[in-house]
Structure 1
């Protein structure tokens, strides 16, 4: 019975750590989607990189990468929040990468019209974080966008 209690305590601690990391990711995403440079830039590590890949049925995939500086300049130019759906905790998965690092993946869906045709747009977002002092900073950020004809 004593061993069972320890197992329950350990599982509870792992679940709580996972919930904290999900909250970190969701706070990061909120800042990213705000297109507010002053809210987003404190989340970025020195080596932060972002890339987005569009997967278009029948045409293939196209990947674009931008530097941290380019991304922040683009956010400043847009100046208004993104209309993309935000991730939900239940659609976010945490993967431990090592002692002070983790990656978070989430998936969102929305319906859209492209060239007059209806599509389902699925975004798979993956952000890796590394601990820097008392906070986590994003080191890499990949977004895969998939379209499916409806």
Structure 2
């Protein structure tokens, strides 16, 4: 495993759409392991492949309830909405209020290529939405709530 170099706001790769992973091979598994190590080193709760310069649809998340390695995630259902504060490893020392679904259902592949469906709420739902946005070239700063006057 290795620590990967983070990409920061302003880097054009963060605005590109990541490609679907067609084959889960050793390179993809190494990428996931490296992303986990990088996320932990940076003390984040999630990381998407574009944040380390790789345009593939892979994310890792650990909100303290166990590590998730997620390939080709897709939100298949969302419910409710909640506004809360978010930050991002690619936008250091900043945060802002973002509206996200209260609950989501996400379909993805695990490391063995098996389809998994996870139903998430609260912080996990927010983290999934945030990281999936990265795969589509969207940053949380694009969704900031306007402050009340």
TM interval, short-chain normalised: under 0.3
Structure number with greater Rg is: 1
> As a proportion of its length, which structure holds more strand?
1
> As a proportion of its length, which structure holds more helix?
1
TM-score (norm 1): 0.25
TM-score (norm 2): 0.25
